[in-house]
């Protein structure tokens, strides 16, 4: 064993697991698991940092504001970013399933995201007003489509190269490391007097991180696996939708996940409520980025471990927490709480809970099935969630013009129903 191989094994044992036992990987994948674990951590850390630095919830809206773009265009960013990354997956999944190896799509997705971010940067520098807003919205759509490629390939490649008992911890570790680094970037942003200049620097750093993530993904050792026949993407997509009728457990998961999307959609409204109570000097771009980094740092690894042990239970737990957060937000609005700090506190807790929601549903979905069936599950669920995100995002945005209180109550109701339905899910986590 070379010195580098020994170092990789020590790294894996320290942040991964002291056990090299593989419960479901073949011999080749098992032997390459330690190195792949390291590469996956690096690639996920870089992509998560890039996602934070080019966030549609914080950075892109801030960029819109500095260019003087209309508010209604800004309200489209989160629904487009989230749904655009999911809607195409039912068609993309059919194409990816034809390939024996799929890590190349991780590389393609990361490179395309880097290009999209650089285009956003150029638009912010060279355009202004409504033209800048339209350009940023269009580029956000392209950004989301590139993310869709990475999303479906990531779950599939991880399922082929990392054993079931380690996937949640891997994602959680990456989230915590990325959170720590994001805090550093956010802190450095405090030193800048120009908020637009700061946002542009963040986008440039995001592009670099995406490119480095692509390089790390290219080094993953993936061996040939199952591949599908030559059916057209639309034909495969139509057949895959039948999974909702054929697999009641999968259908229930899709229902629960659909109702839990409020954990992602509620954040911008909490930021808005905080901004209404204070000047921009209190609620700055840097402070929001730092809060996001701290949330990922303290919660990512913990949520990951819990997801490995019981992803179903974690979904129920985070759904209950999200219900409480949305109800408290509604109460603060109802009683006209005039302090910024309760809203910032809820914003921070929501970020922590949302990280748990993401870890739970990703781990649950990857553990549900293997091979091409996993790809089908991922593509169908993500595409359907994309539709739900777009609809609820647009409807909640319209409702918010009249009453944010009503929006938060609706989000609380959705999460409460998700909490109740989560108990009907099958437990797919590894049994010790």
- Written as one string, the DSSP assignment of 15-56 is HT-S----SS--HHHHHTHHHHHHHHHHHHHHHHHHHHHT-T
Tens of each residue's pLDDT in the chain, 432 residues: 555 455 545 555 555 555 556 666 677 777 777 788 888 889 999 999 999 889 888 888 878 877 888 777 777 788 888 788 777 776 777 677 777 777 888 899 999 999 999 999 999 888 888 898 899 999 999 999 898 888 878 877 887 777 777 777 787 788 888 888 888 888 777 666 555 567 788 899 999 999 999 999 888 887 776 666 656 656 666 676 777 777 788 888 888 888 888 888 888 788 777 766 655 544 567 777 888 888 878 877 788 788 888 888 889 999 999 999 999 999 998 888 777 788 888 989 998 999 888 888 888 887 777 666 776 777 778 778 888 888 888 888 778 778 889 989 999 999 999 999 989 888 877 654
Q: What pLDDT does residue 174 have?
A: 85
167-189 vs 129-161: helix axis angle to the nearest 10?
Answer: 150
pTM for this prediction: 0.75
The H-assigned helical ranges of 247-370 are 248-259, 262-265, 267-275, 285-334, 340-368
What does the block give as tokens for 71?
């508010």
Q: Kindly give, in sequence order, each residue whose CB lies less than 8 Å from that of residue 50, ignoring residues fewer than 6 positions away.
A: 113, 114, 117, 205, 206, 207, 209, 210, 213
Nearest-angstrom CA–CA distance, 326 and 321: 9
Report which DSSP code applies to 337: -
Identify which of 216, 93, 225 has the alpha carbon closest to the alpha carbon of residue 159.
225
Q: Domains of the chain, with CATH numbers?
A: 27-222+230-422 (1.20.1250.20)
Measured CA to CA, the distance from residue 129 to residue 132 in angstroms comes to 5
**Which residues neighbour 134 within 8 Å (Cβ) at sequence distance 6 or greater?**
73
Residue 8 CA from chain centroid, whole number: 27
Task: Select from 180, 203, 213, 205 the least CA-distant residue to 296.
Answer: 180
What are the angstrom distances between the C-alpha of 226 and each of 36, 83, 164, 371? Answer: 19, 28, 18, 6
pLDDT of residue 415: 93
C-alpha 71, offset from chain centre: 24
Q: Within 10 A of 171 (CB to CB), how many other CB atoms are there?
A: 29
For residue 105 the two structure tokens come to: 């799509």
List C-alpha distances in Å: 184 to 48, 179, 294, 347: 14, 9, 10, 20
Residue pair 118/95 in contact (Cβ under 8 Å)? The answer is no
- Please work out, in degrees rounded to the nearest 5, the angle formed at the alpha carbon of residue 356 by the alpha carbons of 353 and 304: 145
Helices (H), 338-403: 340-368, 371-400
For residue 277, the model assigns a pLDDT of 66
User: Which residues neighbour 46 within 8 Å (Cβ) at sequence distance 6 or greater?
Assistant: 178, 209, 210, 212, 213, 216
Please give the pLDDT value at position 281: 46
What is the distance of C-alpha 191 from the center of its chain? Answer: 28
């Amino acid at each position: 064993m070379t010195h580098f191989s020994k170092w990789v094994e020590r790294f894996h044992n320290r942040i991964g697991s002291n056990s090299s036992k593989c419960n479901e990987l073949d011999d080749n994948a098992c032997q390459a698991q330690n190195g792949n674990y390291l590469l996956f951590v690096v690639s996920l850390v870089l992509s998560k940092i890039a996602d934070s630095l080019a966030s549609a919830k914080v950075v892109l809206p801030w960029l819109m504001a500095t260019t003087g773009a209309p508010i209604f265009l800004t309200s489209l960013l989160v629904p487009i970013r989230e749904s655009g990354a999911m809607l195409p997956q039912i068609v993309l999944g059919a194409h990816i399933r034809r390939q024996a190896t799929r890590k190349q799509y991780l590389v393609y997705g990361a490179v395309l995201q880097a290009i999209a971010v650089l285009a956003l940067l150029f638009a912010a520098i060279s355009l202004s007003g409504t033209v800048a807003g339209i350009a940023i919205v269009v580029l956000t759509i392209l950004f989301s489509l590139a993310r869709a490629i990475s999303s479906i390939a990531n779950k599939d490649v991880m399922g082929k190269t990392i054993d079931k008992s380690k996937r949640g911890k891997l994602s959680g570790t990456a989230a915590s490391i990325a959170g720590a680094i994001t805090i550093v970037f956010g802190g450095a942003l405090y030193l800048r007097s120009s908020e637009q200049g700061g946002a542009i620097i963040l986008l440039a750093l995001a592009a670099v991180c995406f490119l480095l993530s692509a390089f790390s993904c290219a080094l993953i050792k993936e061996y040939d696996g199952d591949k599908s026949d030559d059916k057209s993407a639309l034909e495969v997509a139509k057949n895959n939708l039948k999974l909702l009728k054929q697999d009641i457990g999968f259908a229930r998961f899709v229902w629960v996940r659909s109702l839990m999307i409020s954990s992602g959609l509620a954040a911008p409204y909490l930021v808005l409520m905080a901004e209404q109570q204070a000047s921009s000097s209190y609620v700055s771009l840097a402070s929001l980025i730092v809060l996001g980094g701290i949330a990922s740092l303290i919660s990512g690894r913990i949520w990951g471990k819990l997801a490995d042990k019981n992803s179903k239970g974690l979904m129920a737990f985070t759904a209950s927490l999200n219900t409480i957060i949305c109800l408290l937000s509604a109460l603060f609005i109802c009683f006209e709480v005039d302090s910024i700090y309760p809203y910032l506190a809820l914003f921070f807790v929501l970020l922590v809970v949302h990280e748990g929601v993401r870890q739970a549903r990703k781990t649950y979905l990857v553990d549900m099935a293997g091979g091409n069936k996993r790809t089908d599950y991922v593509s169908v669920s993500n595409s359907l969630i994309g539709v739900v995100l777009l609809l609820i995002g647009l409807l909640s945005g319209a409702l918010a013009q009249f009453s944010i209180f009503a929006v938060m109550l609706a989000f609380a109701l959705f999460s409460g129903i998700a909490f109740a339905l989560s108990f009907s899910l099958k437990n797919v986590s590894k049994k010790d």
